Amino acid sequence: MNRQVLSNGRYTGAGRLLGLAVVSLLAAPAALAHHGFGNFAMDEDITLSGVVTKIDFVNPHSWVHFDVTKPDGTKAEYRCELRSATTLRRSGWTPEMFAAGTKITIQGSPDRAEKNACYTSTLTFGDGTVRVTGALPPSLREALQLTHVEGGFDEAGRVVWYPIGAGDDS
């Protein structure tokens, strides 16, 4: 192997390149896992109703924590992922919307590994206010009769959903 030892005892050449390659290979799966919905079953729907216990309004992903009362009266703790705090703020969301005790209903996709977690598609507050995170599962789009068209974003970069057939000139 061709390598040179510098005066400080470090190697140059192939060893340095090999080290960089190993670090890159080890980091790649983590980067790919983070930037996808692979841990969520996006082809499945889940609806959960409960009471907010806390909000982690943070980047890169926010989480709403809430208690769900099961039919037998026992409580189960859930947490559902939201968009980043930065994205939520740009869309008009605030941490104050998630005060402890606030009633919510979440529609989303269940986590594949963590049974009490999900990715939030829509969030309905106790007063009837509905917020959409932008990632609507197919069955919800169908039920609401919504579609997303190319270029369908508002000035803040939020996804805009349109009623099916809206704007059709046919």
- Output the tens digit of pLDDT for each of the chain's 170 residues: 555 555 555 555 555 544 544 444 444 444 444 445 578 888 888 999 999 999 999 999 999 999 999 999 999 999 999 999 998 998 889 999 999 999 999 999 999 999 999 999 889 899 888 888 766 666 666 666 665 555 555 555 555 555 555 544 44
Question: 6 and 27: one domain?
Answer: yes
CB burial readout 75-112, b (16+ within 10 A) else e: eeebbbbbbebebbeebebeeebbeeebebebbbbbbe
Question: 27 and 74: one domain?
Answer: no
Question: 77 and 30: one domain?
Answer: no
Q: Is residue 3 part of a domain?
A: yes
Q: How many domains does the chain have?
A: 2
Question: 63 and 130: one domain?
Answer: yes
Question: 73 and 22: one domain?
Answer: no
Q: Is residue 170 part of a domain?
A: no
Question: 108 and 24: one domain?
Answer: no
Residue ranges making up the domain that contains 9: 1-35
